Amino acid sequence: MNKWNLTVFYDELTAFEADLKTFEEKIANFSEFQGKLDQFESYKKYQLFSEQMTKSLLKLYAYSHLAADLNLKDSEKQSRFQRVLGTMNKFRASTSYVSPEIISIGEAKILSFINKDNQLKPYEFSIRRLFKQQKHVLSDIEEKLLTNFGPINSIPNQLYSALSLTDRINEKVILSSGKELTINTSNWRSILPTLTDAEDRRLVFEAAFKRYQENKDAFASTYNLVLQNMAANYKSRHYPSALESRLFANDIPLDVFLTLKDTVYENTDLAKRYLALRKKHLSLEKHHTYDRFLTLQKNPKTYEYEEAKELFFNALEGFDEDFVAAQKNALEAGYVDVHPKDGKRTGAYSNGIYGFHPFILLNFNKTLDDVFTLVHEAGHSAHTILAHKNQPLATASYTIFVAEIASTFNERLLADYLLKHALTKEEKIAVIEKEIDGIMATFYRQTLFAHYEYEANKLVEKGIPLNANNLSEIMINLYKHYYDIDIQEEKVKQYVWAYIPHFFHSPFYVYQYASSYSASLKIYQDVKAQKKGAMTRYLELLKSGGSDYPVNQAKKAGADLTKKETFVAVVKRFSELIDQLEDLLEN
């Protein structure tokens, strides 16, 4: 069965409605604990009640969210999901007093409660985390005030979502052949690689993203609001900067971000060399940014879903049996929705819900990219399976920082297997190009975006108003340095800052992709070289969930992100791959 089986949550809609009603009625019970958390019995009852409520909410959220993603056109399912999101906000508001009250009681007393009862032991890490953030937690009244401002602070996100709904806008494009195409943000990416004419590619790309140019001032104003909100928050909570406010929760040293940014900035010659190689072998007059979707291999191979699974399972041979079992378990029938459907959410993800098997959404189109996406998401689900099996709810959820280590580790083992078993030169080129594109997209591109955020926030901190011109200027300079591409020559590309949703919804988020990618390479190289204890250390990372800070978890697994060498290793691997590709293309 290549579809989700959501009956594992609820057999009937009436059961969901009953659970939601019961949950909303129980929210009021949180008030019973207010002012009493300094008493052992009350504190214990609060923690156990909160855990029970969290599990119920996760079930409600997962069911409504997954059902909604299967058909974005189904207004009833979308409404149901929005109701659950509203309930989540009520849940947060009802518990907003907890952190300030616990802090007022003091770390020693709360830890004495935890040491007194093993049922409370799972909460120790989160309590120590909370007290680490003590100076950034405000009074009960101030926290409630900030919670009340939540809906207002979310307005920039809502504005961005409304402005960027370009997938509902269809643009007509007439190709050089005379053929007319309808372009939107759902189909442009699959169309671009099929176009041999450079002018056609330009027209399609501009059609997909022209709305960002047309609304550049509205996007710039919205982004300015996002950064001003973030500035108000970091100042209110006494952080040194917006960046440090985003790093603090996961205890990411500022040096990790800065070392990544500086290391990549110092090593852009390889990116330029790769683009020059592509330009030559694709017979391009210039290598524009939208040409990155063209592939070097001729006659790309196609893969059925079952064939892709078999390749992945074959690639797992020789790895630890617990690791292999979790990967295979991740792809069990009923937990992977495989094929594209009308109304279904595009892209791919793994959704992990404590107490349930994780669900994977795919839009499998038989390409090599789809095979890699499959193993990437299987990596996330296997990580979830191992973390949930070995951690209580309080420490089961892992950060994105650690999550991307698990997914890109899988990509590497698949690439190695495919390269080893490639029957033709074309197959080898396809796999090497795929791995190189991973480095370009994750290590270089995401760091470029993180660098952009760093520069944009510097303007805000200096009191310089943001506008479309100065935001584009940052991007123009970065693209020139990273790729030697002048994006001023591309009508819409200089507004790339407007169509990266992370900038608006999750500032200072994307650097984690590049950092995790670097950690993953180091860990995989150790495992591949059969370095003593490497596989055991990696399994411990997967099992540890969110029981420690991510940089500590990566370090225990063998990847020290405080050291420049961890990032330089990616640069070295990139150089090796370009050498291999050049040899295949020119000999």
Q: What is the pLDDT of residue 475?
A: 98
Q: 0.75 exceeded by the pTM?
A: yes
Sorting pLDDT into bands at 50, 70 and 90, what band is 167?
A: very low
pLDDT tens, residue by residue, 105-127:
999 999 999 999 999 999 999 99
CB 482 within 8 A of CB 514: no
pLDDT tens, residue by residue, 41-60:
999 999 999 999 999 999 99
Write a three-state SS string for 516-558: HHHHHHHHHHHHHCCCCCHHHHHHHHHHCCCCCCHHHHHHHCC
Assess whether pLDDT exceeds 60 at residue 495. Answer: yes
Q: What is the pLDDT of residue 187?
A: 85
CA of 103: how far to CAs of 72, 247, 248, in Å? 42, 21, 18
Matching residue, tokens 């370095």: 531
Assess whether pLDDT exceeds 50 at residue 98. Answer: yes
CB 37 within 8 A of CB 102: yes
Sorting pLDDT into bands at 50, 70 and 90, what band is 140?
A: confident
Average pLDDT over residues 436-453: 98
Assess whether pLDDT exceeds 80 at residue 151. Answer: no
DSSP codes of every residue in 84-111: HHHHHHHHHHHTTTHHHHHHHH-HHHHH
Regarding the domain delimited by 6-151, which CATH topology (the fold level of the hierarchy) does it fall under?
Butyryl-CoA Dehydrogenase, subunit A; domain 3 (1.20.140)
- Give first-to-last CA distance, the chain, whole Å: 45
pLDDT tens, residue by residue, 296-330:
987 788 999 999 999 999 999 999 999 999 999 99
Assess whether pLDDT exceeds 60 at residue 166. Answer: no
Domain residue spans of the chain: 6-151
CA of 362: how far to CAs of 62, 303, 502, in Å? 17, 14, 21
Average pLDDT over residues 185-192: 85
Assess whether pLDDT exceeds 80 at residue 164. Answer: no
Average pLDDT over residues 423-452: 96
Q: What is the pLDDT of residue 149?
A: 66
pLDDT tens, residue by residue, 570-583:
999 999 999 999 99
Average pLDDT over residues 51-79: 96
